[in-house]
Amino acid sequence: MTRVGIVTINDDQNYGNRLQNYALQEFLRDQGFTPTTLLNRAEASASVPRSKPALRYLVGSPIHIKESSRTIGRYLRGAGMRRFDRRYLQATENWIDQDADHPARLAESYDLFVVGSDQVWNPRWRGTDLDFLTFAPPEKRVSYAASFGVSALAPEVESRYAHHLSQLRAISVREIEGAELVRRMTGREVPVHVDPVLLLSRERWRRLTGAGRARSRGRSVVTYFLGTESAERGALVERAANRLHARVVSFLDRSQPHHYVSGPVRFVREIDRAALVITDSFHAAAFSILFGTPFIVIPRQGVDATGSRVRTLLGTFQVEAPSGAARGLPGALQADDAATARILQIERDRAGDYFRAVSST
């Protein structure tokens, strides 16, 4: 079997990158590959906070009670992510740092390296040499559904990216804007593929979460916001919950600590059974489409906008105003099950064809 090393974001605070990592692994296994995630950091190890010293400091610092609560919450949330990784991911024992010597014979240990998905090429926090697989010979370097997370790059970044992209054997991106960036930098026309979470069926995800084959809509409005909080956002959530007579399940809301520290499996389960999802997250929207859950995507507040990512996602799938209780909520969308199934089969076949092509000698 072809041994594949996966390089992606290993963030213990973000559901999306943990779930897309798992999904790519499972899809590659289904295609007959033997995948392993290469645990890595975009920063040198010296700059990565260590959990235990932080906790010792916090416990001994009563004047920082609020900050202590926040940090402990992040620690517990991260612990849930790491439990998910240990249980479901085939990964290396050691971490690779961008500025450290890579393990001896790393390039020889795998037949192919795949970078992606998620925002591995977003220059705000990634886009290092590691994210372009420079440790491997060019014939072993490919990407899958890699995202820039932006529609334009600074000239100095574009120059470096253009050099690295030209060395990849095959390039696949997640957004239309990403394909345009690659074309402008390298002259190459590259395919746009769906995020890995969409490569697995809803039944496959339900086996992971322990849910049955069919799910009735629950009485919850699930929220997952990565951007800055706003009064308008809070008012929208309150109106939706009142209209649907639903409780609010807020991931990333520290006022709901039992949800805040939840792991990726519960995140997927709650979206599957929600009456409505309100989010500024690409992956929350993707799972809503997959499960046919009504959803509202709002513009992300802050510097990390989701525009290009969500535009490509919604452009790929046929979404419309929802039926049932969520009808009439401003901005609410719902994917048609029959159309979604048809489109997903096409996209999964395209992804399979792509990996078979890039792995052939």
Residues 302 and 322 in one domain: yes
**Structural domain of 86:** 3-197+345-359
In the prediction, which pLDDT does 169 show?
97
Residues 21 and 149 in one domain: yes
Neighbouring CB atoms inside 10 A of 228's CB total: 12
* pLDDT tier for residue 244 given thresholds of 50, 70 and 90: very high
Report pTM: 0.90
In the prediction, which pLDDT does 24 show?
98
Q: Which residues make Cβ contacts (< 8 Å) with residue 314, sequence separation at least 6?
A: 285, 297, 333
Residues 208 and 180 in one domain: no
Residues 263 and 165 in one domain: no
Give me 180's structure tokens. Answer: 């345009």
Among 159, 165, 166, 163, CA closest to 146: 165
Residues 24 and 113 in one domain: yes
* CATH number (domain holding residue 311): 3.40.50
Reply yes or no on whether the pLDDT at 319 is more than 60: yes
Residues 76 and 132 in one domain: yes
Number of domains in the chain: 2
Residues 118 and 148 in one domain: yes
Residues 108 and 219 in one domain: no
Residues 26 and 153 in one domain: yes
Each residue's pLDDT tens digit, 146-165: 999 888 999 999 999 999 99
In the prediction, which pLDDT does 305 show?
57
Residues 335 and 349 in one domain: no
Instruction: Please tell me what DSSP assigns to residue 129.
Output: G
Residues 228 and 298 in one domain: yes
Residues 41 and 184 in one domain: yes
Each residue's pLDDT tens digit, 41-74: 865 333 344 344 444 444 445 555 455 667 888 8
